[in-house]
Structure 1
Amino acid sequence: MVSRRAVLAGLAAVALLPAAALAADLPDLGGRTVVVATENAYPPLQFVDPKTGEQVGWEYDAMNEIARRLNFKVEYQNVSWDAMIQAVSDDQYNIGMTGITIKDDRKEKVDFSDPYMRSQQFMLVRADETRFADAKSFAAVEDGLVGAQPGTSPFYTAVYEILDGNEQNPRIKLFETFGATVQALQAGDVDLVLTDSVAANGYVQASGGKLKVVGEPLGTEDFGFIFPKGSDLVAPVNAAIAALKADGTLEALDKTWFLDYKMGE
């Protein structure tokens, strides 16, 4: 597991910048409390460190830095993925974060930040899988099963880009969390999990050689934070995201969590 010292080291260059430069043109939110919902089931974006019980990940570090620069206090609350978008839409939480793909239909319920990360979906399989090596050959394996969370981008990709367009296809096995789909894959209960490169990287490295990625990317996704419609936090957070991109903070987090990250170390 990457240490907090490593995270801080990844941000060392940014920390050396003058405070005025970091806060330039960013609004001051006056120390208000902002409640952020997260699932803690999507390493290395956000998860619970099994050794320490601490909530950690790329998104936590990014959100904490955004809060520091905008001068607000973060209160994190755990919520399941299937409830998150509606709960944020209902103003139960001020922000939602869990690698949420920016999609037009979701924009009908919530406002999105500008993208903070771009990712692609890949096919995660067991390391000894030989029956298929891409989406077309998986579709041809009649008893091949794919695990997915309902209502997620991997679910719809499995339905419409790999299988037959039937959302009730019995080859799709549904799970409450993304982590549960990976557990089912490792146990042999399903044969494929679709995920973006972010989670694929984390789980492959964490598996000790039991998982691998096959095939070509199936699409490109932009991730954003979500807010209740009309939230006054959208503009300040967008300004902070732009600042974090400009000064290299997000690049430093990418290196810490995606290049150096190995779950369990």
Structure 2
Amino acid sequence: MSKFLVRLAAAAATLALAVSTVQAQGLPDLAGREIVAVTENAYVPLNFADPKTGEGIGFEYDLFNEIAKRLNAKVKWELSSWDVMIQSVRDGQFEVGMDGITINDERKSQVDFSDSYLTSQQFMLVRADETRFTDAASFGANAEFLVGAQAGTTNFYVAVYDVLDGDEANPRIKLFDTFGASVQALLGGDIDTVLMDQTSADGYIGANPGAFKVVGTPLGTEDFGFILTPGSDLTAPINAALAAIKADGTLDTIKKKWFYDYNAAQ
């Protein structure tokens, strides 16, 4: 048999396996459809560039790739900054977006959401040797302490209303273009805390042993979802695959990989 026929047979076998897997799970079959998905690569451990290869990796990559696999679909990954991501998905430039995006009514008026794939709480990430404050109240009481955030994010609004005085123009909030940049500023001593969900805090702590810790009690609870173009025909299939991934324990396995086992230094 020629090499071409061998490859053709292998490809056919792979396709047949994918189709049979989809059928066995009772999930919609997208027949090899390409899904254009976008993320930022700046939110450890949800989505970020592998420090060794530059390849996009993380919890959301693994989860959405698994969703696509179960739907017999392929993913074309694209990158976008956070500040234009929701608009780009709303306008149809991308079909699906993800960046630790909190499900809320304001965003629901602009895009469709999948079911929640992660529930998390906001914590204060600080340097490991921080002793000057121990919670939001003691942080807020000292006008010299600075918090880093991205404009328009949940972390920004929690900083404004749950840590500081409700003034969105408060100069104690230092804005950064990316989430990763704010964490680097924290590590360098330019700011004193960054607010993030527990899972991401665990990711940064695990990836940087001895560099960070969290202080205080949870400042709020949020659910993350994939965003989709309004009226998207992908919402129902994605929700079906997500439910199957939750039910069979795959979601827990992916969480363990990125929130507890991953260490960039290894």
Q: What is the TM-score normalised by the length of structure 1? A: 0.90
Supply the distance in 2 between the matched residues of 1:22 and 1:43 (Cα, whole angstroms).
34
> How far, CA to CA, are the matches of 1:27 and 1:139 in structure 2?
50
Mapping of residues 31-110 of structure 1, within 5 Å: 31-110=32-111
Is contact 1:116-1:241 (8 Å) kept? yes
Cα distance in 1, alignment partners of residues 204 and 29 from structure 2: 38
Residue pair 2:23, 2:29 contacting (<8 A) in 1 also: no
Distance 1:22 1:163 in 2: 52
Please give the per-residue CA displacement for 1:148-191, whole angstroms capped at 9, x wherever unaligned.
00000010000011111110000000000000000111111111
- Preserved CA contact (<8 Å) 2:119 2:224: yes
AA of the residue aligned to 1:122 = F
- Quick one: distance in 2 between partners of 1:23 and 1:39? 34
Q: Which has the bigger relative contact order, CA under 8 A and spacing at least 6?
A: 1
How far 1:44 moved relative to its partner?
Answer: 1.3
Structure 2 spans left out of the alignment, 5+ residues: 1-19
Query: How much does 1:25 deviate?
Result: 2.1
Larger Rg: 2
Alignment of 1:93-172 (within 5 A): 93-172=94-173
- Cα displacement (A) at 1:205: 2.0
Match of 2:199 in 1: 198
Number of matched pairs: 248
Equivalent position amino acid for 1:192 in 2: T
Partner-residue secondary structure (3-state), 2:158: helix
Corresponding residue SS for 1:121: strand
AA at the equivalent of 2:187: Q
Contact 1:202/1:263 (<8 A) preserved: no
Seen in structure 2, the aligned counterparts of structure 1 residues 140 and 23 have a Cα distance that, compared at 3 Å, is farther
| Match of residue 230 from structure 1 | 231
The runs of 5 or more residues in structure 1 that have no matched partner are 1-18
Give the percent of matched residue pairs that are identical in Structure 1 and Structure 2. 63
* Cα displacement string for residues 3-48 of structure 1 (whole angstroms, at most 9, x for unaligned residues): xxxxxxxxxxxxxxxx558742211111111100000111111111
- C-alpha distance in 1 between matches for 2:138 and 2:206: 25
SS in 1 for 2:205: helix
TM-score by length of 2: 0.90
Per-residue deviation, 1:106: 0.5
CA distance in 1, matches of 2:23, 2:265: 33
- Superposition RMSD in Å: 1.4
Q: Runs in 1 of length 4+ with deviation above 6 angstroms?
A: none
Q: Is the 8 A contact 1:22 1:69 kept in 2?
A: no
CA shift, 1:208, in A, is 2.9
Q: Any conservation in 1 of the 2:200–2:259 contact (CA below 8 Å)?
A: no
Counterpart Cα distance in 1 of 2:75 and 2:58: 15
Alignment check: 8 A CA contact 1:23 1:69 kept: no
One-letter amino acid matched to 1:239: A
